[in-house]
A and B are shown apart, each in its own frame.
Chain A
Amino acid sequence: MPAARLCLPVITALLLLCALRALLASNGTSALTELLEEAEITPSHQLTGIGSHPELQTTSHPAKMQSAEDGGSAQGHDIVGFEMVKWQWVHVQGPFLIAVWILVASLAKILFHLSSKVTTVVPESCLLIFLGLGLGGIVLAAAKKPEYQLDPDTFFLFLLPPIVLDSGYFMPSRLFFDNFGAILMYAAIGTLWNSFTTGTALWGVKLAGLMDRKVEAGLLDFLLFGSLISAVDPVAVIAVFEEVHVNETLFIIVFGESLLNDAVTVVLYKVFNSFAGIGSENIQALDYVKGVGSIFVVSLGGTAVGIVFAFVLALISRFTKRVRIIEPLFVFLIVYLAHLTAEMVSLSSILAVTFCGLCCKKYVEANISQKSRTTVKYTMKTLASSSETIIFMLLGISAVDTSKWTWDTGLVLFTLLFTFVFRAIGVILQSWVLNHFRLVPLDRIDQVVMTYGGLRGAVAFALVILLNSQTIKAKDYFVATTITVIFFTVIIQGLTIKPLVKWLKVKRSDHHKPTLNEELHERAFDHILAAVEDIVGHHGYHYWRDKWEHFDKKYLSQLLMRKSAYRIKDDIWDVYQKLNVRDAISFVDQGGHMSSGKFAFASMPSRTSFSETSVTNLLRESGSAVCLDLQVIDTVRSGRDREDTVMHHVLRENLYKPRRRYQGNYSRHFIAQGEQERQEREVFQRNMRSRLESFKSTKHNVYSSKIKCRHKKEHKCQKRRNAEGINGQVPNDKLQRNVSWQDTVPVFVEVDSEDEEKDKSTKVREQEDDEGITFMAKAANENPQERKFSGNFEYPQSPSVIPPSPTCAEKELPWKGNQGDLPACVSSETNKIVPVDLQYAWKQSTSSLESLVSPPVSDAVFQPKALDFMLEECTVSAALPVPRHPIHFQFPCTAGERSTDEDTMESIQQQELQPLMSAESDSRPVPSAGLVSTRWPAPFHRPSYVSALRSLVTSTQYNIKQPEKSGNMQTNL
Chain B
Amino acid sequence: MGSSPSLPAWEIRNLVHTTGFTSEQIEILHRRFLHLTDGKPTMCRDCFDNIPDLECNPIKSRIVNAFFDRRNLGLQSNGTVDEITFENFLTILSFFQHMDENHAKEDLEYYKMEKLQFLFRMYDTNGDGKITLEELREIIDELLSKTSNTEKTSSSIADAAMMEAANICVGEMEPDQQYDGITFNDFLKIMQDIKIEAKMHVRFLNMDTTAICK
A16 within 8 A of B: no
B101 surroundings in chain A (CB, below 8 A): 441
Once A and B bind, how many residue pairs between them come within 8 Å at the CB atom? 207
Q: Give the complex CA separation of A902 and B202 in angstroms.
A: 58
Within 8 Å by CB of B29, from A536, A569, A939, A948, lies A536
The stretch that binds A, out of B7-15, B57-65, B72-80, is: B57-65
B57 surroundings in chain A (CB, below 8 A): 527, 530-531, 534, 546
Determine whether the beta carbon of A948 is less than 8 Å from that of B35. no
Within 8 Å by CB of A531, from B63, B119, B209, lies B63
A432 within 8 A of B: no
B38 within 8 A of A: no
B54 surroundings in chain A (CB, below 8 A): 531, 534-535
Determine whether the beta carbon of A944 is less than 8 Å from that of B160. no
A527 surroundings in chain B (CB, below 8 A): 57-59, 63, 143
A905 surroundings in chain B (CB, below 8 A): none
B180 surroundings in chain A (CB, below 8 A): 940, 942, 944
Determine whether the beta carbon of B175 is less than 8 Å from that of A538. no
**Binding site of A, secondary structure by majority: helix, strand, loop or mixed?**
helix
A940 surroundings in chain B (CB, below 8 A): 162-163, 166, 173, 177-180
Within 8 Å by CB of B122, from A528, A924, A948, lies A528
Smallest beta-carbon distance B24→chain A, Å:
13
Assign chain A's interface to a size class: 35 or more
A570 within 8 A of B: yes
Considering the complex of A and B, which 10 residue pairs feature the smallest CB-CB distances, nearest first?
A: A940-B179, A930-B175, A938-B166, A692-B163, A534-B53, A531-B63, A516-B161, A938-B167, A933-B175, A537-B32
23 A-B interface contacts by CB (under 8 A): A515-B190, A515-B193, A516-B157, A518-B194, A521-B119, A524-B143, A528-B63, A529-B201, A531-B59, A531-B63, A532-B63, A536-B204, A537-B35, A540-B202, A542-B202, A553-B147, A576-B157, A692-B160, A924-B176, A938-B167, A939-B175, A940-B178, A944-B134
Given A440-B195, A521-B190: 5 more A-B contacts, CB < 8 Å: A521-B191, A534-B53, A538-B203, A940-B180, A941-B176
For A563-587 the 0/1 string (1 means CB < 8 A from B) is 0001101101100100110000000
Determine whether the beta carbon of B150 is less than 8 Å from that of A532. no
Assign chain B's interface to a size class: 35 or more
Q: Give the complex CA separation of A233 and B49 in angstroms.
A: 51
A214 surroundings in chain B (CB, below 8 A): none
Determine whether the beta carbon of A569 is less than 8 Å from that of B143. no
A523 within 8 A of B: yes
A84 surroundings in chain B (CB, below 8 A): none
Q: Give the complex CA separation of A654 and B155 in angstroms.
A: 13
Known: A518-B193, A520-B143, A537-B210. A528 touches B149 (CB 8 A): no
A533 surroundings in chain B (CB, below 8 A): 202
Q: Which residues in B have some Cβ–Cβ distance to A below 8 Å?
A: 29, 32, 35-36, 48, 51, 53-54, 56-60, 63, 93, 96, 98, 101, 119, 122-123, 132-134, 137, 139-140, 143-144, 146-153, 155-168, 170-173, 175-180, 190-191, 193-195, 198-205, 209-210
Within 8 Å by CB of A952, from B156, B161, B172, B179, lies B156
Smallest beta-carbon distance B71→chain A, Å:
16
Determine whether the beta carbon of A934 is less than 8 Å from that of B175. yes
B165 surroundings in chain A (CB, below 8 A): 517
Q: Which residues in A have some Cβ–Cβ distance to B below 8 Å?
A: 439-441, 510, 512, 515-518, 520-525, 527-538, 540-543, 546-547, 550, 553, 566-567, 569-570, 572-573, 576, 579-580, 647-648, 651, 654-655, 688, 692-693, 924, 930-931, 933-934, 937-942, 944-945, 948-949, 951-952
Determine whether the beta carbon of B210 is less than 8 Å from that of A525. no
Interface centre among B149, B160, B190, B201 (most CB of A within 10 A): B160
B159 surroundings in chain A (CB, below 8 A): 688, 692, 945, 948-949
Q: Give the complex CA separation of A944 and B202 in angstroms.
A: 36
Within 8 Å by CB of B164, from A535, A579, A924, lies A579
A532 surroundings in chain B (CB, below 8 A): 63, 93, 96, 202
A517 surroundings in chain B (CB, below 8 A): 161, 164-165, 168, 190-191
Q: Give the complex CA separation of A648 and B150 in angstroms.
A: 7
Known: A525-B199, A538-B203. A572 touches B162 (CB 8 A): no
Q: Give the complex CA separation of A439 and B203 in angstroms.
A: 9
Determine whether the beta carbon of B150 is less than 8 Å from that of A647. yes
Q: Give the complex CA separation of A157 and B151 in angstroms.
A: 50
Determine whether the beta carbon of B155 is less than 8 Å from that of A930. no
Q: Give the complex CA separation of A546 and B202 in angstroms.
A: 13
B203 surroundings in chain A (CB, below 8 A): 538, 540-541
Q: Give the complex CA separation of A524 and B144 in angstroms.
A: 11
Q: Give the complex CA separation of A566 and B147 in angstroms.
A: 8
B175 surroundings in chain A (CB, below 8 A): 930-931, 933-934, 939
Smallest beta-carbon distance B197→chain A, Å:
9
